[in-house]
Amino acid sequence: MKDPGAGVKRILVVEDEPEICNVCRRVLAREGFEVDIAVNGRVAQDMIEEQQYDLCLVDVRTPKMSGTELYQWLQKKYPQLTNRVIFTTGGIMGGDNLTFVEQTGRPFLPKPFTPNELKAIVQEALKQIEK
């Protein structure tokens, strides 16, 4: 993975729901971001190996490799990227997933979310990174 650089910010959205992917792409592109979509953590791994990302919006529950498994992989392989993760999930978040996300200290965006909620959490996460 290359280091994120200056210029247009690139966001990786790890999400298996096409409707959510479309909303994320449309809203974030309108805000001036380049947006890549990975349908699960395995696809995201390959993309992270090839591209630099300023932020990753990661669904906790995706098929083949979950967002929690992807985050654990990042901790081992690209620890500098772990502070660039925002978690999402639909439905009620509880049990092991809630405990995991709380332990990471990363922001969390429950689905369904509004375009304004998405923009706000992305802008806040980027501000925290730039500090």
- What is the predicted pLDDT for the residue at 74? 98
Confidence at residue 79, expressed as pLDDT on a 0 to 100 scale: 97
Residue 4 lies in a domain: no
**Confidence (pLDDT) at 69:** 95
Inside any domain, residue 3: no
Task: Summarize pLDDT for 34-74 with one digit per residue, the tens.
Answer: 999 999 999 999 999 999 999 999 999 899 999 999 999 99
Instruction: Say whether 5 sits in a helix, a strand or coil.
Output: coil
pLDDT band with cut points at 50, 70 and 90 for residue 2: very low
Full domain range(s) for residue 83: 10-130
1 in any annotated domain: no
Query: What average pLDDT does range 7-28 have in this prediction?
Result: 96
Residue 2 lies in a domain: no
Question: How many CB atoms within 10 Å of residue 18?
Answer: 10
Q: How far apart are the first and last CA of the chain?
A: 22
Asked, for residue 59, whether it belongs to a domain, the answer is yes
Decide which of 99 and 127 is more confident: 127
What Cα–Cα distance (Å) separates residue 7 from each residue in 4, 27, 52?
9, 19, 12
Torsion of Cα atoms, 86 then 7 then 43 then 124, to 10°: 10
How would you write 44-60 as a 3-class SS string?
HHHHHHHCCCCEEEEEC
55 in a structural domain? yes
Give the bridge partners for 88, in sequence order.
59, 109
Pair of tokens at residue 47: 């993309």
**For the domain that residue 74 is a member of, what is the CATH number?**
3.40.50.2300
Structural domain total, the chain: 1
Residue 72, domain member (yes or no): yes
* Spatial separation of the C-alpha atoms in residues 98 and 102, rounded to whole Å: 6
Beta carbons within 8 Å of 85's beta carbon, 6+ residues apart: 55, 56, 58, 71, 74, 104, 106
